[in-house]
A and B are shown apart, each in its own frame.
Chain A
Amino acid sequence: MRRIISILMENEPGALSRVIGLFSQRGYNIDSLSVAPTEDTTLSRLTLTTYGDDLKIEQITKHLNKLIEVVKLVDLTEGAHIERELMLIKVKATGAQRAEVKRSVDIFRGQIVDVTSTVYTIQLTGASDKLDAFIGAIGEAQVLEVVRSGVSGISRGEKVLSL
């Protein structure tokens, strides 16, 4: 099962490598990863997606918690949550396809952020499966380049992950 684990950790050199190292060391997979400092510059927020059954996820969260620099973490998929990913995608846009691509961008509520005579560069945000669906709709043959930010997530409602 796909899980989104959100981690607050000390914004210190080497902290990220410990998180990544833990995953490779114990044979867990990281599907996506995004990390940046928070409003409190001494803390970083790291969101990662991984796959595993309850037992495996329990082990992952326990081991993450043991890392000295990890302050707090939450498995967002345990409750209602919002997840977003940003994608920048360059697609072929020539002839009749220009209008067709533009229509798809509108349907998916993306934005064309750069244009040449043959290429559109599109920005799209949403849950990961929406981004997948967009690539499917355009057709992989049309895609020249994809950049995805990795998932960011946050709990719904009043629950917060903070100190």
Chain B
Amino acid sequence: MEMLSGAEMVVRALQDEGVEYIFGYPGGSVLHIYDALFQQDKVNHILVRHEQAATHAADGYARATGKPGVVMVTSGPGATNAITGLATAFMDSIPMVVLSGQVRSDWIGDDAFQETDMIGVSRPVVKHSFMVRDAKDIPEIMKKAFYIATTGRPGPVLVDIPKDQTAPNVKNPYEYPKKVKMRSYAPVSRGHSGQIRKAVEELMKAKRPVIYAGGGVVQGEGSELLTKLAHRLNFPVTNTLMGLGGFPGTDPQNVGMLGMHGTYEANMTMHNSDVILAVGARLDDRVTNNVKKFCPGAKIIHIDIDPATISKNVMAHIPIVGPVDQVLEEMLAALDEHGGEPDQKALERWWEEIAGWRKVHGMRYETNEDGPMKPQQVVQALYKATNGDAYVTSDVGQHQMFAAQYYQYDKPRRWINSGGLGTMGFGLPAAMGVQFAFPDATVACVTGEGSIQMNIQELSTCLQYGLPVKIININNQALGMVRQWQDMQYGGRHSQSYMESLPDFVALAEAYGHVGMKVTKFEDLEGAMNEAFALKDRLVFMDIYVDPTEHVYPMQIADGSMRDMWLSKTERT
């Protein structure tokens, strides 16, 4: 058998997992591994400028490809800087393996230089973690780490590696396990057939049905099957923020995103429904509003791979625990077997009602010819300039909601945002990960002047690797979402939500070796967008000034039901 050092084993395991890219930053405790990386060329290491960005880049790569993102950081601050990225991936169920260096085994607990109890610090935000106690265990631990990260409900797994376990002079036999056997971990592989048949019966009886599709549809490769099911039944579909693209955004059956900033018609459809088919969604607080008032007349069929998600916030009448793709496939077969059709007359009435709701708000917003540009206009211009076919990553805030509302995602894995944790600083590094995965694709990062500054140092990484990401900086000179809440709930007292001394982003982009553009007038927008996207091999930073007073609507009214919404600054339901 081949004899390898611990460091070589780590790198070989990455090769054996077929890892293309590892995002990381070197430091003392991982130097042996970096030396082993240097002596091979199968796994490409991407040097970021901050460890948080490494995790988001790996996360973006994972979201765009479905493959696990891989990260390497050193002990202490390197590891703690990765925590936000771990938490982001954990909340959104993204497969990721993070390798963190650790001080040598005999120093652990001594408060050694750059020592942090990373297993302890990361515990609440990882699916699982391993500490390498013996270099011989590295192949098995690496295999398990990738297996756990990518199976069941995916999530991040941390492997903490003390420096002595990677010492180049200590060799051990290396054989990468072909299979994993864990008596304590057996993710569900099939939904319960009886429950699926029961669900079909319920769907057949529905008069006001809705399909509510979440991130699990995207992550669980269920988009095609869901689309097939929805078309077959002619039911309306609403997507969550995480589920956008899981059902085509431009499909006539799509009633738009639901929840806090969902469309009027999506929230009305949900509230008035009699059967909800929730697929890979977790009925979280940004969707349900007050759970006690949530969809009072609805029977809930809930499909999810994670049993703990079902009936956590809202009781499910028909729970189905299983992988979304398998369950949907079996549901389609069960529909064939059943042979019946839903009540067409009732459905017709239901669609008429929905058509009425579509007219009420229709995602309208006020524009002002002489006044400043509206952020919605920027997203619509982006949609047009990219033919609706870009990978769009986003940061967190108003721009995120506008990018979710006004860009129609027809394919899964095209919309990449931090939905659960809401991590500002996610967008640019995530876009890097996407661009590595798809070098020829158009990748746009929709951000704001607040969020972009949380990981702006990555402009340097983008130059190093020639990543032609297009940064759409929707600049409202304020922390827009904070400001909106302060307008609506704090009497307009804008406590710390405006940004003084903004940098000259054009000069900044140029200083980093990129192209910068400033747009202040709507009439220049389309031309500037086209110009930016024509620069195929350059990163373009578009600094676009918009109306600082704009709010995101619709917006659900706190503690109300799904149908309680503000539709504009002055109208409410």
Contact = CB atoms under 8 A, between A and B. Distances in A.
Nearest to B157: A68
B308 A9 contact: no
A9 B124 contact: no
Contact of B123 (A9, A10, A21, A63): A21
Interface residues of B, number: 19
- Among A13, A14, A66, the one with the most B-chain Cβ atoms within 10 Å of its Cβ is A66
Contact of B131 (A14, A18, A63): A14
Contacts of B184: 9-10, 68-71
A68 B308 contact: no
Nearest to A68: B128
Nearest to B183: A71
Given A10-B184, A14-B119, 4 more contacts: A9-B184, A14-B129, A14-B131, A59-B308
A71 B185 CA distance: 7
Contacts of B123: 17-18, 21
B182 A68 contact: yes
A17 B306 CA distance: 22
B308 A62 contact: yes
A112 to B, nearest CB: 41
Contact of B148 (A21, A62, A68, A163): A68
Contact of A66 (B120, B124, B308, B311): B308
A25 B124 CA distance: 7
Contacts of B124: 21, 25
A68 B148 CA distance: 9
A66 B90 CA distance: 14
Among B183, B184, B306, residue most surrounded by chain A Cβ atoms (within 10 Å)? B184
Contacts of B182: 68
Interface in B182-214: 182-185
A141 B133 CA distance: 50
Contact of A59 (B148, B183, B312): B312
Interface in B136-157: 148
| Chain A at the B interface: SS class | helix
Interface in A123-144: none
B307 interface: yes
A interface, how many residues as a size bin?
20 to 34
Interface in A63-98: 63, 65-66, 68-71
A55 B183 CA distance: 27
B445 to A, nearest CB: 32
A163 B312 CA distance: 28
Contacts of A65: 307-308
B128 A17 contact: no
A68 B120 contact: no
A71 B129 CA distance: 16
A58 interface: yes
Interface of B: 119-120, 123-124, 127-129, 131, 133, 148, 182-185, 306-308, 311-312
Nearest to B309: A62
A69 B183 CA distance: 9
B91 to A, nearest CB: 13
Interface in A22-58: 25, 55, 58
A22 B190 CA distance: 27
15 contacts: A9-B184, A13-B131, A14-B129, A17-B123, A18-B123, A55-B311, A59-B308, A59-B312, A63-B308, A65-B308, A68-B127, A68-B182, A68-B185, A69-B184, A163-B183
B311 A58 contact: yes
A69 B127 CA distance: 11
A55 B312 CA distance: 8
Contacts of A21: 123-124
Contact of A17 (B120, B127, B183): B120
A161 B183 CA distance: 14
A25 B129 CA distance: 17
Top 9 A-B pairs, shortest CB-CB distance: A62-B308, A71-B184, A68-B128, A25-B124, A68-B185, A21-B123, A62-B307, A63-B308, A66-B308
Contacts of A68: 127-128, 148, 182, 184-185
B272 to A, nearest CB: 27
Contacts of A10: 184
Contacts of B148: 68
A62 to B, nearest CB: 4
A62 B311 CA distance: 11
Nearest to A18: B123
B310 to A, nearest CB: 8
A83 B430 CA distance: 52
A62 B305 CA distance: 12
Contacts of B185: 68
Contacts of B312: 59
A13 to B, nearest CB: 7
A75 B185 CA distance: 20
A5 to B, nearest CB: 15
Nearest to B148: A68
Nearest to B307: A62
Contacts of B119: 14
A22 to B, nearest CB: 8
A18 to B, nearest CB: 6
A59 B311 CA distance: 9
Contacts of A17: 120, 123
Contacts of B131: 13-14
B496 to A, nearest CB: 29
Nearest to A163: B183
A16 to B, nearest CB: 12
Contacts of A55: 311
A52 to B, nearest CB: 14
A41 B182 CA distance: 17
Contacts of A71: 183-184
Contacts of A70: 184
A21 B124 CA distance: 7
Taking each of B127, B133, B307, which has the highest tally of chain A beta carbons within 10 Å of its own beta carbon? B307
Contacts of B133: 13
Nearest to B130: A14
A54 to B, nearest CB: 11
B390 to A, nearest CB: 36
A4 B183 CA distance: 24
